[in-house]
Amino acid sequence: MKRLIHFLLLSGLLISGIGNSLQAKESFTLKRGVNIAHWLSQSSERGARRDAFFTEKDVKYIASLGFDHIRIPIDEEQMFDEAGNKEPEAFALLHRAIGQCLQENLRVIVDLHILRSHNFNAEYKPLFFRAPAQEAFYECWRKLSAELHKYPTSMVAYELMNEPVADDPEDWNLIAYTCYLEVRDREPERVIVIGSNRWQSYDTVKDLKIPEGDKNILISFHYYLPFLLTHYKASWTSQKDYKGPVHYPGITVNKDEFEASCPANLKESLQWNTRSNYDAARLKREFQEVLNVARRYGVQVYCGEYGCMKNAPEADRLRWHRDMEQVFDEMGIARALWCYRESLEGFGILKINDPDEPMIKAMGLK
């Protein structure tokens, strides 16, 4: 029944050409950005250490590199207490960052990254099974909209949720649509970013359903392929114990290298890497799948996360970044690098506080 209702809503209520009325007076345009990870999301730091993690100096440096926007992941547990009350210190930091970005003409995407009811790495996600969890999600956005609506629609956008992982993509479509209506009812011209199911994979964008006729939507996907390269030795992954060679471009690992270096318990799950060939041409083919969906809706595409860990072989990592930037530019895809300041997992254009100059150069930044 809920799918039928969803279909009727999408087909009837919003198909009637509301796009022009929803166009912001000044467009929210993006090209290249960076994620401010592990600050208001995925971090236990509070107080002075959290305050110092991202400051005006960082905003100015990001602008100087040639980025035109930042994506700020925020977690429900940082922004709201268990009773749903706003955490003043966290909101003060968010407002400070947005204000500093506006001074540097940097646009901002506020990304609700992790909910108490939905963590993209958790086995059980109440968001998809419990009505109170869904209502709490919508209430987060009612409160966020009330707090942030004062910012220009040409400068600040909202991303409903990061990396949804539903067993059935229709569950995410329905929840995303309901949340969209909550925001759109309050802010008719705000740009809303909606990501695809299952970690915002490029190949699940085809299953995403968004309201028709609303030009102020961005379809978002993330890209970390080949995963054996981009998450080489990543401690939180099932492939962490593979320490053999990895390559880009070309076959991720050749058969002889694989047989000689892959632990026996990983051979079945990682065998496909001996047949996976990644290069710029493949990136184009896979990104085109996303563009085809966006073209049907008449909206833009946004790659909200991409990156390669520094554990990977340096030459291959830098070549991957060069190809990604070239393909993004050729295909007109806006994007945000994961991430700004390096954390334990080894992403970032800053190694603690020192710029990763080879990476910056490979990405064509200033």
The answer to whether position 99 is within a domain reads yes
The first and second tokens of residue 39, run together, are 């600050």
Looking at the domain assignment, is residue 294 inside a domain?
A: yes
pLDDT at 203: 98
209-231 pLDDT, tens per residue?
A: 999 999 999 999 999 999 999 99
Same domain flag for 31 and 136 = yes
Q: Which residue has the higher pLDDT, 349 or 346?
A: 349
- C-alpha to C-alpha distance for 78 and 114, rounded to whole angstroms: 10
Same domain, yes or no: 115 and 251: no
* 142 & 232 share domain: no
Cα angle: 327, vertex 331, 333; to 5 degrees: 90
Beta strands in the chain (DSSP E): 32-35, 69-75, 107-114, 156-159, 192-195, 217-223, 250-251, 277-278, 300-306, 334-337, 350-351, 354-355
CA distance 177 to 68: 28
Q: How many domains does the chain have?
A: 2
Does the pLDDT of residue 287 top 50, yes or no?
A: yes
- Whether 190 is in a domain gets the answer yes
Check whether residue 101 and residue 206 sit in a common domain.
yes
Which of 203, 199, 192 is CA-nearest to residue 172? Answer: 199
The answer to whether residues 296 and 243 belong to one domain is no
Does residue 90 sit within a domain?
A: yes
328 located within any domain: yes
Output the domain CATH number for residue 209.
3.20.20.80
Note whether 139 and 59 are same-domain residues.
Answer: yes
Q: What is the pLDDT of residues 258-284, one digit of tens each?
A: 999 999 999 999 999 999 999 999 999
**Does 66 map to a domain?**
yes
| DSSP category for residue 121 | T
Give residue 64's pLDDT: 98
220, 193 Cβ separation under 8 angstroms: yes
Residue 208 belongs to some domain of the structure = yes
Going by the DSSP 8-state scheme, the letter that residue 20 receives in this structure is: H
- Both 60 and 143 in one domain: the answer is yes
Name residue, tokens 């254009």: 349
pLDDT tens digit string along 249-263?
999 999 999 999 999
Assigned domain for 327 exists: yes
Rounded Cα–Cα distance for residues 59 and 98 (Å): 10
Over the stretch 106-153, which tens digit does the pLDDT of each residue have? 999 999 999 999 999 999 999 999 999 999 999 999 999 999 999 999
The number of angstroms, rounded, from the C-alpha of 203 to the middle of its chain's C-alpha atoms is 15
What is the domain extent for residue 244?
228-275
Q: 339 with 302, same domain?
A: yes
* Token representation of residue 79: 């922004």
Q: Does residue 160 share a domain with residue 252? A: no
